């Protein structure tokens, strides 16, 4: 299982190296002057046309999680850090801070070039941007197995599923929204996707039984990694002297990178609408990223998908060179387990089609009749992505005391816990500058990594308006 920890860490690092769920700032959903709310709902238009400063118009970096660095790293007596595996950290202390399912997510949404303008009977947008998202989920039982191991005559761990997925691509989006009736507005986007890198590793139906009679493990592991120019060799291809089935084992120590290029192509759509139910009360809904990506140069690997059983050493011999000597049986045990735990490459260089993680946004906004510069809203967001799905509800209050100044605060409850958010938006005649956070950063370590949970978000941008 330690090998699988290494494999998942490798996939996570590949994703975060490309960038660290990337969407616009949710705190700005109900603001008239927030230029990038069309990324949350294509029916929403800003009150001005705009042209963003390249690479500075909209940058959104976020991490999410129901655990943090403090759950895995602990201070020592000499003011250094050690991992949860150290004997100085008790199992009760470590396991007491974990959730049944421990989730972490990192994402970036950066607009390289963006513009919005009124023409053809509506509001139009062009957005070219980097989208990157990496998600991890690990059950508590897996971490308990790593820390505790066999705790009695018969110990069983039902680990269920665990995995890590990273998706990284460039998006070119064209959008159009228009007023259909006095109260109804609709919008849509079409997106061309240019693939960068994709990685997905998972273990499913994992069970471990540790008893006095035998050790037994059942786990089905799979890996897909797609990236232009990437070569993930087997140990045999790396020049090592392996024979038989061992020759198919993936050799992560000798990964090669050739000429970089596009890792794949895809297509997606956003659909949205807003409707003013009565004066001052508006509801809105959007479904984002309905589409797929076809990845090229995919390497697929899996485990042997058979139970691994160790029933003790048989007929030990003390004779030197005997087949049943302790040294030979230990070596055989190690080889059998490595062959089970290792990933065996099944194919390479083939195409892989994957659907995108869709997001459903539903909003309700009420502006005060006696002072319509103050409004209250509720935004529900749901990411539909299998085991990596999450949901969030966010209550907000927004005010626009001046024609060029808006501000808002909000409180959110999500799969990753509760948090506060805020946004300030300055938009005089020729410029628009915003800064905000959907997740306030709590206590951080020396590396500015959140300690108690990973919920951190920062978004800012500068654009010209006209």
Query: Which residue has better confidence, 158 or 296?
Result: 296
Q: What is the pLDDT of residues 8-61, one digit of tens each?
A: 444 444 444 433 345 689 999 999 999 999 999 999 998 889 999 998 999 999
Q: Is 431 in contact with 463 (CB distance < 8 Å)?
A: yes
- The residue among 118, 27, 78, 42 whose CA lies nearest residue 423 is 27
- pTM for this structure? 0.85
Query: Which residue has better confidence, 249 or 398?
Result: 398
pLDDT for res 315: 44
Torsion sign, CA atoms 415, 376, 365, 124: negative
Q: What is the pLDDT of residues 110-169, one digit of tens each?
A: 999 999 999 999 999 999 999 999 999 888 888 887 888 777 778 888 877 888 999 999
Q: Is 193 in contact with 215 (CB distance < 8 Å)?
A: no
Q: Is the pLDDT of residue 4 over 90?
A: no
Question: Which tokens in the block code for residue 94?
Answer: 């470590």
Out of 1.10.3210, 2.40.160, 3.30.70, 2.40.10, which CATH number does the structure's domain 2-228+263-303+342-465 have?
2.40.160
Q: Is the pLDDT of residue 318 over 50?
A: no
**Residue boundaries of the structural domains of the chain:** 2-228+263-303+342-465
Q: What is the pLDDT of residues 65-124, one digit of tens each?
A: 888 888 888 888 777 778 888 888 888 988 888 888 999 898 999 999 999 999 999 999
- The residue among 95, 99, 26, 20 whose CA lies nearest residue 64 is 20
Q: Mind giving me the DSSP string for 309-373? A: EE----S-B-STT-TTBHHHHHHHHHHHHHHHHS-EEEEEEEEEEEE--EEEEEEEEEEETTEEE
Q: How far is CA 60 from CA 111, 287, 416, in A?
A: 9, 20, 18
């Amino acid at each position: 299982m330690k090998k699988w920890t290494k494999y998942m860490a490798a996939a996570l690092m590949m994703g975060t190296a490309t960038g660290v769920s990337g969407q616009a700032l949710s705190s700005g959903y109900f603001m008239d002057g927030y230029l990038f709310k069309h990324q949350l709902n294509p029916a929403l238009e800003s009150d001005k046309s705009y042209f963003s400063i390249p690479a500075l118009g909209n940058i959104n970096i976020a991490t999410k999680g129901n655990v943090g660095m403090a759950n895995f790293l602990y201070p020592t007596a000499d003011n250094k850090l050690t991992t949860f595996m150290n004997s100085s950290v008790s199992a009760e202390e470590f396991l007491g801070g974990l959730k049944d399912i421990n989730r972490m997510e990192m994402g970036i949404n950066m607009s390289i070039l963006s513009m919005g303008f009124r023409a053809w009977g509506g509001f139009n947008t062009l957005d070219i941007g980097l989208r990157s998202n990496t998600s991890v989920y690990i059950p508590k039982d897996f971490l308990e197995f790593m820390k505790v191991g066999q705790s009695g005559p018969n110990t069983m761990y039902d680990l269920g599923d665990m995995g890590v997925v990273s998706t990284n691509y460039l998006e070119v989006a064209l959008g159009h929204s228009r007023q259909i009736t006095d109260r109804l507005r609709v919008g849509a986007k079409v997106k061309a996707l240019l693939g960068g890198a994709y990685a997905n590793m998972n273990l499913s139906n994992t069970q471990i039984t540790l008893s006095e009679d035998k050790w037994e493990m059942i786990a089905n592991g799979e890996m897909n990694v797609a990236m232009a120019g990437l070569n993930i060799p087997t140990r045999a291809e790396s020049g090592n002297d392996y024979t038989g089935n061992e020759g198919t084992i993936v050799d992560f120590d000798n990964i090669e990178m050739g000429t970089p290029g596009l890792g794949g192509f895809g297509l997606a759509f956003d659909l949205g609408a807003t409707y003013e139910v009565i004066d001052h009360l508006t509801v809105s809904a959007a479904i984002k990223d309905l589409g797929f990506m076809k990845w090229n140069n995919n390497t697929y690997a899996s485990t042997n998908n058979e139970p691994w059983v160790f029933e003790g050493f048989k007929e030990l011999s003390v004779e030197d060179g005997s087949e049943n000597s302790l040294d030979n049986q230990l070596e055989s045990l190690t080889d059998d387990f490595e062959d089970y735990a290792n990933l065996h490459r099944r194919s390479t260089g083939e195409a892989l089609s994957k659907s995108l993680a869709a997001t459903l946004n539903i909003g309700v906004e009420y502006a005060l009749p006696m002072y319509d510069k103050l409004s209250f809203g509720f935004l529900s967001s749901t990411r539909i992505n299998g085991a990596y799905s999450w949901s969030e509800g966010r209550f907000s209050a927004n005010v626009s005391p001046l024609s060029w100044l808006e501000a808002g605060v909000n409180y959110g409850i999500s799969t990753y816990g509760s948090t506060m958010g805020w946004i300030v938006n300055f938009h005089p005649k020729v410029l628009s500058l915003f800064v905000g956070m959907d997740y306030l950063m709590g206590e951080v370590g020396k590396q500015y990594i959140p300690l108690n949970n990973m919920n951190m978000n920062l978004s800012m941008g500068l654009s010209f308006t006209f």
